[in-house]
Amino acid sequence: MKKHEIYISGRVQGVGYRYFVYYQAQSYDIKGYVKNLMDERVKVIAIGENTKKFIEELRKGPMMSHVSDIQINELISTKEYEEFTVEY
């Protein structure tokens, strides 16, 4: 199973981006979480078999967003997630 730590930059806070990510995670059977960071980026931990397609959707974002950059780090971790959540 693939696990990624993803940082999304651009106009991604205050535009429904986290909930967009949540619904995409449900569509692609991704586990992990999404949360806003203090530096105006969004962080996503994504675990699943369909992470490539999921990340493609993150590049698009919802209508009011604008993604300027995505940083993707592949992780090796033993922490498991049972679902995908929106963290605050």
In a domain, 85, yes or no: no
Domain membership flag for residue 25: yes
pLDDT tens figures, 35-44: 999 999 999 9
Percent of residues, the chain, with pLDDT higher than 90 = 91
Q: How many domains does the chain have?
A: 1
Catalytic positions: 18, 36
Does 84 map to a domain?
A: no
What's the CA gap between 86 and 11, in Å, rounded? 18
**57 pLDDT more than 90:** yes
* Tokens standing for residue 31: 């586990």
Classify residue 83: in a domain, yes or no.
Answer: no
Q: Domain range holding 11?
A: 2-78
Q: Is residue 43 part of a domain?
A: yes
Quote the pLDDT of residue 29: 98
Residue 55 lies in a domain: yes
Question: What per-residue confidence (pLDDT) applies to 16?
Answer: 98
CA nearest to 22, candidates 45, 38, 52: 45
Q: What is the pTM of this model?
A: 0.95
What is the reported pLDDT for 76? 87
CA distances from 9 to 34, 49, 87 (A): 13, 24, 17
One-character DSSP codes across 25-68:
HHHTT-EEEEEE-TTS-EEEEEEETTHHHHHHHHHH--TT-EEE
d(CA 69, CA 41): 10
